[in-house]
Amino acid sequence: MAEKDYEIVPLPKEQWQGTNIPMRYTTEEYYDVKIAEESDGYTIKIHKSQFESPVTHYPEEYDFPDKLYQPHWEKAYAWGVLKDGDGKKELLACIETCPEEWSNRLMVTELWVHESIRRQGIAHRLMAVAKEQAYLEHRRAIILETQSCNVGAIRFYQKEGFELIGMDSCCYRNNDLERREVRINMGYFPRRKQKVTKETIAIRKEKETEYHRTEEAVLGAFWNKHHLGCNEHLLVHKLRQNSAYLPELSRVAVAGDQIVGVICFVRALLKKGEKTKEILTFGPLCVVPKWQGCGVGGLLLKEALTSAKEAGYGGVIIFGEPDYYPRHGFKTCDQFGITTEDGKNFDSFMGIELIEGALSGFGGKFIEPEVFLDLPKEENAAFTKQFHAPAKQRFPGQWDEIEC
Ligand SMILES: CC(C)(COP(=O)(O)OP(=O)(O)OC[C@H]1O[C@@H](n2cnc3c(N)ncnc32)[C@H](O)[C@@H]1OP(=O)(O)O)[C@@H](O)C(=O)NCCC(=O)NCCS
């Protein structure tokens, strides 16, 4: 198979649950783990050593061989590389992840590449999918378990940016230390960054010469997040040609000469019977993945809301992430007596008053500008060709089967 044929595809649970993973490897080295109790604590030493002769580990020696979608990983999701076998697809490589919700970490529960195609960068590409999932789900770390004798895998994880985060000397049997197969835990931290300030990031109006770069940043922020691919970059493009768009209130966040965040303000309406009131909405507010979690979104929002207030607008209503916007003062619209155009309320339908009573004193229905709804798939596909878009990939957090 040529490299381009090693396409990474989702492995749906219905089809792949229970599939054996032939987790075989041979190693000449191991990490010798020594734990010593001392008067004032403990010392743990982990040093690479040589086996007398190469050792092979294979699935048949274990009571619980690796399988996809084991019942205890309730929210697992897997991707893999497949080959056409005797009338059915055969697994050539896979990665399985499962969120540990209470600690907000993403676990890599399986990673395997068939011996015939190792050292061709396939595990690296599979891990890139797990890293993308961690970004999309705002996980604070990716964690995994490996063994002290799996030196090749440990080297791979180190290359991928994983660090040692712990060990367990009796995970598999009580004599794991003597058997030289000790559980090693490794972790990867997607966003370990300093909070940004107005000194490190400039928040300003967008220049005409930057349109394409802004759209590229928007694509980077939304790609594969809610759908396969995204269409928010086309939305920004079309907004600029729409009379409801407010460039004087919209902002970009700039680091050096890079656009790292965007907020686009648009006029919207509240409607109550025959009466209407002009308010604002925005969409999208976004930050490119590498800069997420540093406070850029908050800076953009604060700056843009201040200018909106100075321009005399009383309130803003949006459809957005229910976990994010309340931190910046947004409340669900039922608290203002406002519903969607078809009379609904839900957690992601939120608003903020810039002038007290500007929303609650009017109530009524929120009328979203039509430009938000007019994003035909064919137009988006043609428009997206102007960008270096990453591969489309299915992720568990996506809303639906829709491909943009
Ligand atoms: C570990 C494993 C998943 C790596 O898969 P892979 O597709 O061969 O890895 P990649 O080609 O993406 O490796 C990228 C880099 O990681 C490092 N690396 C990967 N495997 C390595 C090994 N056995 N020894 C040393 N370094 C290794 C190398 O730096 C490599 O780059 P290079 O080949 O240009 O030097 C694969 O060996 C495997 O399936 N092993 C058996 C199952 C297993 O142990 N899984 C992990 C369970 S915890």
Quick: pLDDT tens for 133-145. Answer: 998 898 999 999 9
Q: Cα(153) to centroid of ligand 1, in Å?
A: 6
Class of CATH domain 202-384: alpha beta
Q: Cα(10) to centroid of ligand 1, in Å?
A: 21
Atom 1 (ligand 1): residue with closest C-alpha? Answer: 153
Q: Is residue 290 a contact partner of residue 131, using CB atoms and an 8 Å limit?
A: no
Identify the CATH assignment for 3-188 out of 3.40.640.10, 3.40.630.30, 3.40.50.150, 3.40.605.10.
3.40.630.30
Atom of ligand 1 nearest to the CA of 23: 42
Cβ neighbours around 369 below 10 Å, total = 18
Identical topology for domains 3-188 and 202-384: yes
**What pLDDT, on a 0 to 100 scale, did the predictor assign at position 191?**
73
**What pLDDT, on a 0 to 100 scale, did the predictor assign at position 371?**
83
Q: Is residue 342 a contact partner of residue 351, using CB atoms and an 8 Å limit?
A: no
Name the residue among 357, 348, 365 with its Cα closest to residue 399.
Answer: 348
Q: State if residue 157 touches ligand 1 by the CB under 6 angstroms criterion.
A: no
**What pLDDT, on a 0 to 100 scale, did the predictor assign at position 260?**
96
Separation CA 391–CA 382 (nearest Å): 16
Separation CA 262–CA 251 (nearest Å): 6
Q: Looking at 249-380, which runs of residues are DSSP E strands?
A: 251-255, 258-272, 275-287, 315-319, 331-332, 338-340, 349-353, 364-367
CA 291 from chain centre, in angstroms, equals 12
pLDDT digits (tens, 9 = 90+) for 56-101: 988 777 777 899 999 999 999 999 999 987 788 999 999 999 999 9
Atom of ligand 1 nearest to the CA of 24: 41
**What pLDDT, on a 0 to 100 scale, did the predictor assign at position 175?**
96
The single residue listed with the structure tokens 């907020």 is 263
- Domain limits, the chain: 3-188, 202-384
pTM of the predicted model as reported, rounded to 2 decimal places? 0.82
Q: Which residues contact 135 (CB under 8 A, 6 or more apart)?
A: 190, 289, 292
Q: State if residue 48 touches ligand 1 by the CB under 6 angstroms criterion.
A: no
Q: Cα(114) to centroid of ligand 1, in Å?
A: 11
Structure tokens at 368: 């979203």
Atom 35 (ligand 1): residue with closest C-alpha? Answer: 119
Q: Which helix (H) or strand (E) holds 5?
A: none
pLDDT digits (tens, 9 = 90+) for 12-49: 999 999 999 999 999 999 999 999 999 999 999 999 99
Residues of the chain with pLDDT under 50: none
C-alpha distances in Å from residue 115, one per residue of 1, 160, 190, 230: 14, 20, 29, 36
Atom of ligand 1 nearest to the CA of 145: 48
Q: State if residue 59 touches ligand 1 by the CB under 6 angstroms criterion.
A: no
Q: Cα(152) to centroid of ligand 1, in Å?
A: 6
Atom 9 (ligand 1): residue with closest C-alpha? Answer: 123
Assess whether the previous peptide bond of 247 is cis (omega < 30° from 0). no
Find the Cα–Cα–Cα–Cα dihedral 352, 355, 361, 363, rounded to 10°.
-30
Q: State if residue 162 touches ligand 1 by the CB under 6 angstroms criterion.
A: no
Look up residue 120 and give its DSSP letter. S
The single residue listed with the structure tokens 């209503």 is 317
Ligand 1, from 25, 81, 119: best to mutate by most atoms within 8 Å of Cβ?
119
